[in-house]
């Protein structure tokens, strides 16, 4: 037993060196969605979109109403679809974006989200390239961190759209939750994307499920992911994504619930990734330093305390273990 322990010492030392050699992340934007119930999210961070005729043959109108876009008073943003007419549409829903308020080139985007159940719902956490002379969509680029068909409780998808590969894009991938996991409708899950000058990587919880390299994209068109993008959350109803299907009346009201969103840039920071700061209010930094950590592909690394046990029971009830940085 002693010999086995001695053999492990070089390995443990190597892991410590590797972990501390990794590039860190510096937080550049966050929203924990704390606030009074039935109020709008922070107007210094978010625009509430109003659009009575959204694209993709969608059946909802996006409206500015606390019935459709509001904080719930428990630390979440709720985007709610209702079966009520607005203009020529038979449903209303909510959509927010950070255009003109926060935009960034490269980094890590992550959000903890619970999705609504029901055929015909189309929730999304995504990004659009700012129009800095690139000519609008799709020439400015689009990155879909997560989309879901509301009839598929265990399946999400990620995609990229640009000139020559927009609409029914070949740059797309579906992710299936592991057997026995709580569904996207029953629990919060962490959806994330990491973006560099030559790659975009997509994650669900601790799983890296899709990597897009610049060479994959340039087979179809230009790589247009070298300028600022802004962030969007929305809940669409119907539309082309799932064959124009509409939800039954009993599925309303339907809610996308966002627990937090964090955005980082590459740096030297030693930060907690995938963990809402509000969950640790009142705890010292020393306590946080003792947490076991993971890198973003889910491979375990040593914590500062030397532990190797996955962190559990920290996120919203029923959520998967969270991904942490060193």
**Which positions are catalytic?**
142, 147
Q: How many CB atoms lie within 10 A of CB 83?
A: 18
Q: In angstroms, what CA-CA distances link 189 with 111, 145, 323?
A: 8, 13, 11
DSSP 205: T
Q: Where are the alpha helices (DSSP H) in 184-290?
A: 214-217, 285-289
With a CB cutoff of 8 Å and minimum separation 6, the contacts of 167 are 138, 161
Length of the chain: 326
Q: Is the distance from CB of 160 to CB of 142 less than 8 angstroms? A: yes
CA–CA distance from 319 to each of 38, 112, 159 (Å)?
Answer: 25, 9, 24
70 CB-contact burial (10 Å; exposed 0-12 / middle 13-18 / buried 19+): buried
Instruction: Provide the H-helix boundaries in 73-217.
Output: 214-217
Task: List helix spans (H) across the chain.
Answer: 2-21, 214-217, 285-289
């Amino acid at each position: 037993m002693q010999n086995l322990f001695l053999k492990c010492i070089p390995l443990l030392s190597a892991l410590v060196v590797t972990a501390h050699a990794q590039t860190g992340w510096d937080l550049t934007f966050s929203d924990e969605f704390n606030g009074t119930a039935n109020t709008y999210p922070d107007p210094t961070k978010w625009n509430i979109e109003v659009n009575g005729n959204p694209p993709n043959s969608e059946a909802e109108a996006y409206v500015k109403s606390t019935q459709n876009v509001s904080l719930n008073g428990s630390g979440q943003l709720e985007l709610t679809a209702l079966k009520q007419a607005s203009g020529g549409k038979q449903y209303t829903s909510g959509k927010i974006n950070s255009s003109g308020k926060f935009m960034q080139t490269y980094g890590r985007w992550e959000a903890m989200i619970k999705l609504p159940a029901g055929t015909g719902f189309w929730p999304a956490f995504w990004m659009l390239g700012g129009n800095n002379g690139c000519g609008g969509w799709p020439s400015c680029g689009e990155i879909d961190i997560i989309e879901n068909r509301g009839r598929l409780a265990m399946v999400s998808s990620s995609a990229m759209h640009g000139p020559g590969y927009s609409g029914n894009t070949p740059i797309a991938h579906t992710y299936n939750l592991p057997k026995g996991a709580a569904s996207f409708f029953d629990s919060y899950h962490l959806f994330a994307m990491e973006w560099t000058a030559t790659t975009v990587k997509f994650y669900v919880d601790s799983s890296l499920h899709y990597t897009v390299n610049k060479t994959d994209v340039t087979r179809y068109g230009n790589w247009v992911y070298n300028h600022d993008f802004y962030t969007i959350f929305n809940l669409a109803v119907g539309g082309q994504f799932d064959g124009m299907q509409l939800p039954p009346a009993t599925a309303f009201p339907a809610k996308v619930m966002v627990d937090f969103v964090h955005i980082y840039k590459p740096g030297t920071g030693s930060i907690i990734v995938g963990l809402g700061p509000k969950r640790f209010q009142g705890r010292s930094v020393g306590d946080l330093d003792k947490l076991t950590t993971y890198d973003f592909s889910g491979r375990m690394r040593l914590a500062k305390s030397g532990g190797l046990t996955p962190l559990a029971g920290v996120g919203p009830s029923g959520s998967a273990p969270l991904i942490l940085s060193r």
